Structure 1
């Protein structure tokens, strides 16, 4: 009898989602689409995961902070020149906007696993 066990990467991703809430989804998209962006999820010791934030930077650009606005249900900039600026609700689009703001290239991976290896012919 065979039992499917979650892969280690799935387990760590689930742990990240529990620890860091919605910002973890943006973190994952940034790692995939803009690997040059330095990103880290942070939260206070006793804060709920929905109160966590994502610290991002790229090259000489100063670090910026993004968080999830629980009431409005969208990601926002915290502090800095765009304080309170809305980034959207969809993690991949938010990651692309973060990269653009920081001046980093962003290349979203395809959602279609069959597309990998295609030559475009």
Structure 2
């Protein structure tokens, strides 16, 4: 919610590696996003390779997964918290399930969120 306040005030937020916990929740709630949207989660796990603000690479899932999500950890966190639209993020989605998931991703409890409209034109 702090990001919403910073956005409203036009104040930049400097990310740190403390966002790892949000990224981890985003990974762990993959199946929840499917279920809350009335869909069946894919049987196979995804591979996630996210670049932390420090430059460290954080990974989850098998390296040989047919579906993967790659890119800045901050952008991944924006996606799973529905703070930014996918069109505004530098995420690489590989595989049809990863692409489908990107449209329903949410790491917060409750009904599906509406997502965000793209900022970019």
More strand by share: 1
TM-score w.r.t. the length of structure 2 is 0.31
TM-score (norm 1): 0.31
| Structure showing greater Rg | 1
- Higher RCO (CA < 8 A, seq sep 6+): 2
